Amino acid sequence: MDPPLFPPSHNGSSEWSPSSWKNVVAKQMPIYDDQEELEKAVKTLDRVAPLVFAGEVRSLHEKLARVAEGQGIVLMGGDCAESFKEFHVNHIRDTFRVILQMALVMTYGSSMPVVKIGRIAGQFAKPRSDPNEVVGGVSLPSYRGDIVNGEEFTSEARRNDPQRMVEAYYQSAQTLNILRAFSTGGYADISRLHAWNLDFVEGTEEGSRYRLLASKVDESLRFMKAIGVDTSKPEFTSVDFYTSHECLLLHYEQALTRQDSITGKWYDCSAHMLWVGERTRNLDGAHLEFTRGLCNPLGVKVSDKCSPEQLIQIIDKMNPHNIPGKLSIIVRMGAEKLRKHLPGMISAVQRERKTVVWISDPVHGNTRKTKSGYKTRDFDKIREELNAFFDVHDQMGSHPGGVHVEMTGEDVTECTGGVSDVTEDTLKHRYNTTCDPRLNGSQALELAFIIAERMRL
Ligand code: PEP
Ligand code: MN
């Protein structure tokens, strides 16, 4: 297959520059009270090394272009928000391991390559529905993620501190270093897949289904070896793993946006892929202005609030040359609304001959608060939304391109249901998230089996 064409850089356009977003209104951006402090942090970031490189970004783009043609599926997953406090090599290892396990299940089920993308190494900034949080009659600015302010409910912690961007950068650099080592240093070797089993899937139904599948893969490997295939080649021992996060904090993103020395095009080197959230995707806003000039693959989150006409306008802005793999539409609206609204969106895209990757985010439209005050998500609702996504694509003859989930490799109790059987009463046991509730390792694996079953040829 011919490699996809890449767009002419916006570099030549007088309108776009890495700072042209400053001429338009930016929603959800923190206000810093000390401009000198902000300039100092930005200056530091202007000079740091890129976290990802243009060649890697192009390789992800090529893979996504294949997904856009129906030849593959995307798996995006990770924490809702990374935190400074939770940073640990084991935490990264566990998330990475579950993503690889999910990918294996999905590959086996669909017989298609799975493009693996972490919500990681930069997923720090959070949009907030309310700029303030009121507790016991005291109102303080909302927590906007560790890259902006602190979670603790004190006015000191909630102050927007630009130096946190520098700290987030260094944590992301360490995270990427770990991920690169895990991806290529033997940890991801397919023949070690039994060793990937997490203790807590032992004894669960998903755990035994996973082991059964793993033994089938083992059998296939033994067969390949017997007929002379060299299973020590990189295809068997390493994986391509990419990073992504919400493109929200534009001071940080601008500072990491660099011109590729080979092509002269602009890449945001904070992550391979960036997406714009549901709350900042307005056509006249700074987030679309900033992202339209980037050569990275992009995503945009859409709920039922986005009309088919608006969706087409967003696509025209983010992918004006209609390049396959450049833009993913990440749909998040709950099962019922999805059955009602997604068909209209797909027909508009088909009518206008746009090429996009459709990704389901089945978690963000299904968040609720329990009586005891925990933000949670029910596994059944997540499954319903995912099934609705597949049903609609079947109906419309379009390709269900993948899934985007908030998950962790750890045995947390943040979402209810699934075989791991977390209930409203047990949420308190290991509710560790600093933001939205995540699927735990076994719930994430269970989801992968659902996808695998739906994608079976
Ligand atoms: C998110 O992905 O964490 C997020 C905030 O999503 P959305 O923009 O869809 O609300
Ligand atoms: Mn979230």
ipTM for this prediction = 0.98
| Model pLDDT for residues 16-42, shown as the tens digit of each residue | 999 999 999 999 999 999 999 999 999
Closest ligand 1 atom to residue 277 Cα is: 8
What is the per-residue pLDDT for 283? 97
Give me the amino acid identity at 399. H
Ligand 2 centroid – CA 164 distance (Å):
20
State yes or no: pLDDT of 12 exceeds 60.
no
The most confident of the ranges 10-14, 100-104, 356-360, 416-420 is: 356-360
Question: Cα(435) to centroid of ligand 2, in Å?
Answer: 7
pLDDT of residue 192: 77
Ligand 2 mean position, distance from CA 282 (Å): 19
Atom of ligand 1 nearest to the CA of 81: 3
Q: Which atom of ligand 1 is nearest to the CA of 126?
A: 5
Please tell me if the CB atom of residue 385 comes closer than 6 angstroms to any atom of ligand 1.
Answer: no
Closest C-alpha residue for ligand 1 atom 6: 277
| CB 127 less than 6 A from any atom of ligand 1 | yes
Question: How many other β-carbons are positioned within 10 Å of the β-carbon of residue 284?
Answer: 9
DSSP secondary structure letter of residue 422:
B
| Pocket of ligand 1 contains residue 301 by CB under 6 Å | yes
E strands of 308-440, at which residues?
Answer: 327-331, 357-360, 368-369, 375-376, 400-406
pTM summary value = 0.94
Distance CA(217)–CA(210), nearest Å, equals 10
Higher pLDDT, 247 or 218: 247
Task: Indicate the helix (H) or strand (E) that contains 157.
Answer: none
Beta-bridge partner residues of 135: 138
Residue range 218-240: average pLDDT?
A: 90
By mean pLDDT, which of 41-55, 158-172, 224-238, 241-255 is the weakest?
224-238
CB of 277 closer than 6 angstroms to any ligand 1 atom: yes
Residue 350 tokens read as 């088909």
Read off the pLDDT band of 158 (50, 70, 90): very high
* Three-state secondary structure call for residue 386: helix
pLDDT in the model for residue 268: 98
CB distance 405 to ligand 1 below 6 Å: no
User: pLDDT at position 13, please?
Assistant: 46
Q: What is the mean pLDDT of the chain?
A: 93
- CA separation for the pair 98, 11 (Å, rounded): 39
**Pocket test residue of 288, 301, 414 for ligand 1, highest count of atoms within 8 A of CB:** 301
Identify the pLDDT of residue 252. 98
CA 74 to chain centre: 10
> Looking at residue 341, what is its pLDDT?
98
Residue 79 tokens, joined? 């924490």
Are 320 and 6 a contacting pair, CB within 8 Å?
no
Q: What is the pLDDT of residues 78-112, one digit of tens each?
A: 999 999 999 999 999 999 999 999 999 999 889 99
69: exposed, middle or buried (Cβ count in 10 Å: 0-12, 13-18, 19+)? middle
pLDDT of residue 349: 98
Q: How many CB atoms lie within 10 A of CB 88?
A: 10
Structure confidence at residue 14 (pLDDT): 53
Across the range 208-228, mean pLDDT stands at 84
How far is ligand 1, taken at its centre, from the CA of residue 364, in Å?
A: 6
Cβ of 118 closer than 6 Å to ligand 1, yes or no, is no
**Phi, psi values for residue 389, rounded to 5°:** -60, -45
Residue 106: predicted pLDDT? 94
Atom of ligand 1 nearest to the CA of 301: 9
Distance 366 CA to ligand 2 centre (A): 11
Residue 165 has pLDDT above 80, yes or no: yes
> Probe ligand 1: pick from 364, 367, 404, 405, max atoms within 8 Å of CB?
364
Query: Which residue among 279, 288, 408 has the greatest number of ligand 1 atoms within 8 angstroms of its CB, and so is best to mutate?
Result: 279
| C-alpha dist (Å) from residue 409 to 96, 194, 305, 388, 418 | 7, 16, 32, 26, 15
Pick the ligand that lies closest to the CA of residue 299: 1
Residue 312 Cα to ligand 1 middle (Å): 20
Ligand 1 atom nearest 119 alpha carbon: 2
Q: How far apart are CA 155 and CA 139, in angstroms?
A: 9
In DSSP notation, 3-53 reads PPP-PPPGGG-SS--TTGGGGS--TTPPPPS-HHHHHHHHHHHHHSPPSS-
The answer to whether the CB of 440 falls within 8 A of the CB of 407 is yes
pLDDT tens for residues 376-424? 999 999 999 999 999 999 999 999 999 999 999 999 999 999 887 899 9
What is residue 3's predicted lDDT score, i.e. its pLDDT? 39
Contacts of 90 by beta carbon, 8 Å cutoff, 6+ apart: none
Q: How confident is the model at residue 198, as a pLDDT?
A: 57
Nearest to 388 by CA among 347, 349, 360: 360
238 CB neighbour count, 10 Å cutoff: 17
- The protein residue with its alpha carbon nearest to ligand 1, atom 1, reads 80
Mutate to test the pocket of ligand 1, among 129, 130, 245, 246 (most ligand atoms within 8 A of CB): 246
Convert the pLDDT of each residue in 109-133 to its tens digit: 899 999 999 999 999 999 999 999 9
Tell me the pairing of strands 400-406 and 73-78.
parallel
What is the band of 199 on the pLDDT scale with cuts at 50, 70, 90?
A: low
pLDDT of residue 1: 41
